[in-house]
Amino acid sequence: MTAQSGQPQLPWWETGIIYQIYPLTFADGNGDGVGDLRGIIDRLDYLNDGNPNSVSSLGIDAIWLSPIYRSPMVDSTYDVSDYTDIWPTFGTLDEFDELLAAAHQRGIKVILDLVINHSSSEHPWFVESASSRDNPKADWYLWQDPVPGQAYPNNWLSYFGGPGWTYCPDREQFYYHTFHKNQPDLNWQNPDLRAAVYDVIRFWLDRGVDGFRLDASSAYSKDPQFRHNPMKYGATSQNNYKNYHHHYNKNLPANHQIIREIRALLDSYGERALIGETFIDNQMYDSISFYGAKGDELHLPLEFEFPLCAWFPGDLQRAIEKKERLTPTFAQPNYFLDNHDIPRHLSRWVECSLCIDPVTIARAAAALLLTVRGTPILYYGQELGMVDNDDIPQDRLRDQVIVISDTDDTPPSRDGSRTPMQWDASAQAGFSFGKQVEPWLPVHANYKDLNVEAELADPDSILSFYRRLIRLRRNSPALLQGSWRSLLHYPLEYLAYLREHEDETLLVVINFSYEQPFDCDDAIAPDGWEVLLSTDQPEGQTVALPKTLQPFEVSIYQHSGATQ
């Protein structure tokens, strides 16, 4: 119970802020040009130094590490060849234990990315499975015989382009891969495979990790009959994957049972978080179903409708209202703007906004992310205003699953949103702590002006704005636990919404346009609002609400009395 309210203590993933780290490009501690665990350890104080009044740390509550396991690196660690060891370039298990202890000392939870829809084709499980049809692991992957008159067993496609089936001469059969041919899908119907994966989960829980983000978690189960996916009526996308309804290779009912079993395993260890990527092209309803009908599946299902919205008030509010209506009462929404699979939000939105100033858009996006009802998830560097690096030479690209494809229906390379974290103006943006070594991916050319050191020293920077928002959120009952209610029925130029709690009411106003009259469809008190944070209003003063919004204004007000 909380000391002040007598209400039950909320789990940490409902009040905290999660920060995704892409280890390859976050910090290089040993100077070899590749990010590693030592680099993350050395940069923890920037994320949270354990001091709630810190003048230099961001103030996040948990880090989510993209995969750190052994991997042949075909898909930048999302092809795992050993689930219980660290890729040597990242470090060792001892260094991981050191990272875990150092994070916990600062109050930072550690979430691992768990890639168990598929493994690497170099994983010993697959090597054995592919060797014959009668070995102990023969049924640990999805094998099908050739079908006379058909090129492949069925019409299932790879998300990365081309067929989802690859022929194995040793077995004279095809194996299925949702993604690249080097990433064969696990057969979750096999009880021995299931038990082996659960042993992997126990291995990391026993070490003390605080939860997992499940990669491609809605695609574990496939149709046992391997039926063809129906084609969408009139579909003509150049990306052939988009021309089909994927009814038989994702979001199947049996998938929910797998997630329930994983959740039960985590629950047996106490307060551990289960987050799941529900496929990037999922509809929001399908994603939210993975909370479970009884709240016994994912704590936080990740869906992509919100981040892939246009930067337009109506679109964003519709996505928020949709999530508010669909999210069960027992569950917590979550929101993110960026991750390793999509372009950074400033690269997506700056060209479709009335405003062409990325700093202004970044402030507005930060205010939205950190004041809607739900758990916010940040992607490294977004708090600086990092944008995609679109000038990576062909010979420096690392997204092999995209680069080496010979089809014309694959997604673009994702490397642009994965470039090194920009720490300072030294060599390679301080990625290797000042050493002049070639990094895993080229640093963006803007690093001398856009970096942590410069922005910490600038009170008007994007980073400073994020830090103020995070501090405000941490101390606001309305932002941590309050309801969300829009004051506009059909927003066009700006958003205006309330976060309401028994102890306080907050009003958030975000103007997406030029100077506008400020009118709400639902009446609220015109006076008695304290300005908590604003780009244009006098902070710390109690004021009447303005009649006019300034161009691209962001303001957050607090009211302690009745607002209607």
Instruction: Give the pLDDT confidence of 331-342 residue by residue, as tens digits.
Output: 999 999 999 999
Would 506 be classed as within a structural domain? yes
* Whether residues 469 and 505 fall in one domain: no
Distance CA 521, CA 117 (A): 47
Catalytic annotation, pick one of 14, 28, 210, 277: 277
pLDDT of residue 313: 97
* Whether residues 289 and 249 fall in one domain: yes
Share of the chain above pLDDT 90, in %: 90
Would 390 be classed as within a structural domain? yes
pLDDT of residue 100: 98
Would 151 be classed as within a structural domain? no
* Whether residues 385 and 517 fall in one domain: no
pLDDT of residue 6: 54
Other residues' Cβ atoms within 10 Å of the Cβ of residue 166 = 17
Is 36 an active-site residue? no
From 449, 473, 497, the end of a domain falls on: 473
CATH of residue 541: 2.60.40.1180
How is 126-151 classified by DSSP, letter by letter? HHHHTT-SSSTTTTSB-EE---TT-S
Would 331 be classed as within a structural domain? yes
Q: Which residue has the tokens 């003390």?
A: 208
Q: Cα separations (Å) of 464 from 101, 247, 468, 508?
A: 28, 45, 6, 19
Q: How much is the average pLDDT of 351-365?
A: 88
Whether pLDDT at 439 is above 80: yes
Is 122 an active-site residue? no
Mean pLDDT, the chain, as a whole number? Answer: 95
Q: Which residues contact 104 (CB under 8 A, 6 or more apart)?
A: 110, 208
Share of the chain above pLDDT 70, in %: 96
This prediction's pTM:
0.96
* Whether residues 232 and 270 fall in one domain: yes
pLDDT of residue 402: 64
Q: Are strands 529-534 and 494-501 parallel, antiparallel or unpaired?
A: unpaired
Sign of CA dihedral 68, 72, 77, 78: negative
* Whether residues 204 and 302 fall in one domain: yes
Model confidence over 22-33: pLDDT tens digits?
A: 999 999 999 999
Model confidence over 98-110: pLDDT tens digits?
A: 999 999 999 999 9
Would 144 be classed as within a structural domain? no
Residue 323 in tokens: 């999530």
Would 528 be classed as within a structural domain? yes
The residue ranking higher by pLDDT, 352 or 33, is 33
CA 8: distance to chain centroid? Answer: 28
Q: How much is the average pLDDT of 299-304?
A: 97
pLDDT of residue 297: 98
The residue ranking higher by pLDDT, 353 or 262, is 262
* Whether residues 251 and 110 fall in one domain: yes
How many residues does the structure list for the chain? 564
Full residue range of the structural domain in which residue 371 is found: 13-119+191-473
From 473, 494, 512, the end of a domain falls on: 473
* Whether residues 378 and 494 fall in one domain: no
Q: How confident is the model at residue 409 (pLDDT cuts 50, 70, 90)?
A: low
* Whether residues 369 and 493 fall in one domain: no
H-run or E-run covering 508? strand 504-511
CATH of residue 217: 3.20.20.80
* Whether residues 243 and 383 fall in one domain: yes
Catalytic annotation, pick one of 215, 297, 455, 493: 215
Contact 143, 222 (CB under 8 A): no
Number of domains in the chain: 2
* Whether residues 488 and 544 fall in one domain: yes
Task: Lowest mean pLDDT of 347-356, 440-449, 503-512, name the range.
Answer: 347-356
Whether pLDDT at 486 is above 70: yes
Distance CA 537, CA 41 (A): 39
pLDDT of residue 1: 34
Model confidence over 218-234: pLDDT tens digits?
A: 999 999 999 999 999 99
From 435, 451, 473, the end of a domain falls on: 473
Whether pLDDT at 457 is above 70: yes
* Whether residues 447 and 541 fall in one domain: no
Would 182 be classed as within a structural domain? no
Would 433 be classed as within a structural domain? yes
Q: How much is the average pLDDT of 391-402?
A: 87
Distance CA 233, CA 90 (A): 47
pLDDT of residue 406: 52
Whether pLDDT at 2 is above 50: no
* Whether residues 366 and 509 fall in one domain: no
Q: How confident is the model at residue 77 (pLDDT cuts 50, 70, 90)?
A: very high
